[in-house]
Structure 1
Amino acid sequence: MTIRFVSGVGADTGLLDSAITHYQGLGVDAFHIARHIESFDDPDFRRSQDVVARHDISFAAVHQGPWDEDLNGYLIWAQMRRHPTDWWVIADLDEFHVYDRPLTDVIAACEAGGYDHVKGALLDRVAADGSLAALEPNASIWAQYPLAGFVTLRLPGGDWHLTYPDTVDESRRMLQHLEANGGRIDVTAEELSLHRCGSDYSDYEAWPELVSRLKDIR
C-alpha cells in the first residue's frame, strides 16, 4: 500500500518545505505536487524547485498559464487518476492534517469498515498576540502559532460550505475585523474560541463545542 500526498501549488510557496516535512513525518510515501506558474522565468519557481529537491522529490506536474477557479481541482484529480487504488492525503500547503493514530491505522480502519474517505475539522493556528506574523522557517510552526480556534469558521461568515462567489464578501469581513483590531486577530473574542494547544490538539479546550457543531452538519 502506498500513501500519497497531492496538492496544487500556486504563487505562495512559503509553506512548501514545512508541509513536505510535516507529511513525511506522518508517513506519506509519495508526493504529487502540481505547480502552477505564470512564467518559467519566475524566480520563485526556481526557488520552489530547490525546496522540493532538498526532499529528493520533484514537481509531479508544472502548468504554465493563467489561474482560474477550476484549475486546482483539475491538477489534483489528474494526479489521483494515475493511482486510483491508493490512498491519498489531499491538502493545501497551509493545511497540516493531524490524526489521532498512524495513517496506516486510519486506512486499516477505513478498509475494515468500508469507508473511502475521512473528514476532519478545520482549526486555524494564530500567533499569541493575534498578529499576522511571518513564518520563521527554522522554528516550530506550532510554537510560532500557539493558539488554535475557529477563525475561518466564524470571521468570514460562519459557513462550513463556502462557494467561490462568496469569497469577496468573506475577505471583506476578515479585513474589517483586522482593521478594527489594529491589523491583528482579536484573540480575546469568545466566538473565535482561541486557546493554546500543542501539535496534536489533544489539549484543545473547545473540542466539545466543535464536535457538537460537526455532528450538526454531518
Structure 2
Amino acid sequence: MSTSPALIAVIGPVEPALLAAWVRHYRWLGVERFLIAFHFPDHVSNAQRQGLQAAVRELGIIPVGTSSGPWHEHTNTRLTDALRHQAGPGWHLLADADEFQQYPAPLTEVIAQAEKSGHRVVGGLMLDRITASGRLTGWTTQGGLDRAYPLGGHLTHRLLHGDPRNIVLARHDVAVASGNHRAPGHKPDADRLCAVHHFKWRSGVLDDLRRRIQHFSSGTWQEQTPAVREEAGRLLSHVGRHGGVINIGDPRLAFRRVGLDRMPSGWLAEARGIFTTWRPTRTGQDRRQ
C-alpha cells in the first residue's frame, strides 16, 4: 500500500496566516511529514523572520533550516534538493507556500495509480487565483482563501508566458528541474493532472515583482535566463494598463469561480489540452498568444 508522501518546500516571507492555511490544506490531503526550509532575502526584517519561524512551530513543524541572502534563481533548486535528500526514499510532494494542490482522487490513490501505470512522477497545472475584482488585495482568516480569491484562470501562461506545468509528486530518485516544471526523462500522465491553485496574486506581490526585476537586472540575484524577470515585467505592464488590477474580462484568461473543495468543471480535459500543447515563448519576444 502506498504511504503518504513527504512534503518538500522552500518558504520565503509569506504571511503566517497563509502558511497556516497551507499546512492545514496538505494535512487534510493526508500529508503527515513536512520538510521545509526558510530562505529570507535581505529586505526581510528580523521580526518577520522570527514570526514565521514561531508560526510554523505552533503548527507542530520544526523547520529543517533557515538561510538568508540573495534569492538566486538556483537557490530554490539547491535547497529543495537538500531537503529531498534528507527526506529519503519514497514519494515527495513538491509545493510552494502559495500553491494548494487539488487532486481528482485521494492522494494515496493518485500515488498507487502512478505506480501501477509505471509513472514515476505526477503532474499538475497552474490555476491562478484572484479576487472577484482583479485587485491585488490581502485576505482575512475569517473569510478564507476561497472567499477572498474566488476566481481561477490561466494568467501564468496566457498573459505572462510562464510555464504552467508542475511536477507535483516525484519518486525520491527522480530529479526535478528548476521551478518544479519538468522532470527530465519522465513524463506525467496527462490524463490525471491535478489543479495547482496558485494564490500568488495577493497584496504586496507588485513590490516583490519590482524587487525581482531590480535585483536580477543588476546582477545582485543571479538568473539562468531572463524568463522570470520578463514574466514579472509583463504582469506589471498589464496592471499598469488596467488601473492597477488584473483584467478579469479578458476571455483568454478564462477566469471563473472555483474552490478548493471541488475540482473545476471539465478540469481533466482542460488541463490535458494545455499541458500537452504549451511551448515556451522565445526569449526576448513578448507577443500575445
Query: TM-score normalised to the size of structure 2?
Result: 0.68
Measure the CA separation in 1 of the matches of 2:256 and 2:266. 7
Residue segments in structure 2 that go unaligned for 5+ positions in a row: 166-178, 180-223, 280-289
State how far apart, in whole Å, the 2-side matches of 1:3 and 1:159 are.
25
Which letter maps to 1:188?
Answer: G
Give the aligned partner of residue 59 of structure 1. Answer: 63
1:107 is matched with which residue: 111, 135, 149? 111
Aligned residue in 1 for 2:31: 28
CA RMSD of aligned residues (A): 2.5
Equivalent residues in 2 for 1:92-171 (5 A)? 92-157=96-161, 160=164, 164-171=225-232
Is contact 2:103-2:263 (8 Å) kept? no
Q: Output one character per residue of 1:116-153: Cα deviation in whole Å (capped at 9) or x when no partner.
A: 11011111011111111112233221121111100111
Q: What SS does structure 2 have at the residue aligned with 1:66?
A: coil
Unaligned runs of 5+ in 1: none
Q: Secondary structure at the match of 1:36?
A: strand
TM-superposition CA deviations, 1:9-45 (whole Å, max 9, x none):
1233452112111111111111111111357971111
Identity %: 31
Q: 1:217/1:192 Cα in 2 relative to 1: closer, same or farther (>3 Å)?
A: closer
Q: 183-192 or 66-75: which moved more? A: 66-75
Deviations 1:73-113 (A, max 9, x none): 11111111123322111011111100011111111111222
Cα distance in 1, alignment partners of residues 38 and 87 from structure 2: 19
Preserved contact between residue 195 and residue 205 of structure 1 (Cα < 8 Å)? no
How many residues were matched structurally? 218
C-alpha change, 1:86 and 1:160, in structure 2 (3 Å) is: same
Other-structure match for 1:175: 236
SS at match of 1:122: strand
Helix, strand or coil for the counterpart of 1:97? Answer: strand
Does structure 1 residue 193 correspond to structure 2 residue 195? no
- 1:19, 1:130 → 2: CA distance? 22
More strand by share: 2
Q: Distance in 2 between matches of 1:61 and 1:159?
A: 29
Question: Aligned partners of 2:267, 2:6: CA distance in 1, in Å?
Answer: 31
Partner SS state of residue 72, structure 1 = helix
